[in-house]
A and B are shown apart, each in its own frame.
Chain A
Amino acid sequence: DTGVSQNPRHKITKRGQNVTFRCDPISEHNRLYWYRQTLGQGPEFLTYFQNEAQLEKSRLLSDRFSAERPKGSFSTLEIQRTEQGDSAMYLCASSLVLGGGAVGYTFGSGTRLTVV
């Protein structure tokens, strides 16, 4: 297992287009998280999955955003009708949580989205 993999690394899109990012977590990990990071800010939580169930979504996640994790393996994050404000680094992380939250995340390298 080579860690958490995210594709693509970079994406430039025109405003109004749809984009989809993919995250392949560590295979043994049951939780998968999506965060967004903009310049000068820390990562902001978007959503997370436990296995295939999406258990929580941030209010930051407008109805243009949708995430899936079919079969509890890889996850996709889709943004429809992109806006310039969507330009950010989208980070995926996974962890194995058997009880509480005292385990570290393993992050991917992120997908940097630029909306022009």
Chain B
Amino acid sequence: EAGVVQSPRYKIIEKKQPVAFWCNPISGHNTLYWYRQNLGQGPELLIRYENEEAVDDSQLPKDRFSAERLKGVDSTLKIQPAELGDSAVYLCASSSPSKGSMLNEQFFGPGTRLTVL
């Protein structure tokens, strides 16, 4: 079974430029998450989708960040314009209800490391 795919793996841009990250979740996973992980910190949730609906975007800085999950499969996270403080690893994860489990185990992709100069 293929895991969560993210691209690009690395991105270097100058401040004020736009940038986009792409995520393809595990096939059949209805729930998709975008996290940001700053250096020396744990991942922090930006947005969670249930199919194509954003059910939790309270931590997404909506002035410059946007996300979409058309057709409830792939997702794109965009930053426009990027700021120096946006340098981080952006992780995508997906999950699906498991029979007999109280928790939807989240499977993470390798992340995109963004550097803003």
- Whether chain B is bound by chain A comes out as no
